[in-house]
Amino acid sequence: MTQSRINKRHEKRKNSTLKRFFKTTLLIFTLLIVLGGATAAYMAVQLNSATSAAKVELDRGERSEIREAAVSPGKDSVSVLFLGLDDRTGELSGRSDALMLATFNANDQDVKLLSIPRDSYVNIPGRGMDKINHAHAYGGIDMTIATVEELLQVPVDYFVTLNFIAFMEIVDTLGGVEVDSPFAFSEMDSHDNKGAISIAEGPQTLNGEEALAYARMRKNDPQGDIGRGDRQKQLMEAMMKEAASLNTITRFGSLMDSLERHMTLNLSFGEIVSMHGYATSMGSIEQISIDGHNTRINGVSYYQLEDESLNSVRQQLKEQLDY
């Protein structure tokens, strides 16, 4: 991507209203719908239509620039980058407030999930050192993928991008998600009404609005971003459990309409279905993370990744992807 193209994209997006929102992502939800019992012909047609409408092509083409050959999720080990965007306009622009890389090993049929802290201090190609979540605001999904590939030194084969609207509708369609909150707190709702959502301590079932608040809260957590990351993982596991146990979805059609408007991806319906072998692994995903610490550089707060931990994660991902 040339610098002029990057500047044009930045100019197009810089006027978007950016509010710090949506602190989680939906791990291969569409795959779970297909494989978790919701395989009726009507649902398959609806999902095929939604993924076709939401599918976009990357500037690089179908193959990662650091791959020697194209891969297929049905037979090769692949990676999928999931982004939760700070967007409610429907344009799917702005900063990425949640970044997670899922890696699928074709031999063992297992899945590893890496959560990348949004304030990670990294090199953004063409922009220099900055927070990793700024990459999407600067150059969209293409720049985000280039940044993640440079950071982790492994290919990003596919991506799925959703905003907070799709997240809430998915949770509500699931009938809510069960969590065990480590403490009680209040958080703003999806309309930025401060203190509108109250989360109690202990086990409970959250609806879409409550789940969003549970995932986004950071300031009142004694562990900050680390605690928020733990809550996001808890939510993700709960959502996968709910999705895998579904037999019918009464609001499936409206949900697909929402995904068409609030999701982009470069996976086709056929490629999603070809990953059926991973269905039994969804309930036991291995979570990995990069250690680091908070720091301030020129008066700006960042999350400084520790080299030893980063190198260890790079090696794990390379082995997982047979790369």
Sign of CA dihedral 262, 266, 271, 277: negative
Residue at token pair 């990003």: 156
Ranges of each domain in the chain: 3-169+249-320
Count Cα neighbours of 284 within 13 Å in the Cβ-side half-sphere. Answer: 6
Beta pairing, strands 158-163 & 78-85 = parallel
Instruction: List the beta bridge partners of residue 116.
Output: 99
pLDDT score for 43: 59
pLDDT score for 193: 87
Nearest residue to 34 (alpha-carbon basis) of 16, 48, 13 = 48
pLDDT score for 45: 64
Which parts of the chain register pLDDT below 70?
1-47, 86-95, 240-241, 243-255, 258, 282-284
pLDDT score for 92: 57
pLDDT score for 247: 47
Nearest residue to 18 (alpha-carbon basis) of 90, 118, 92, 87 = 87
- Domain 3-169+249-320 in this protein, CATH class: alpha beta
Residue at token pair 């890496």: 114
pLDDT score for 171: 87
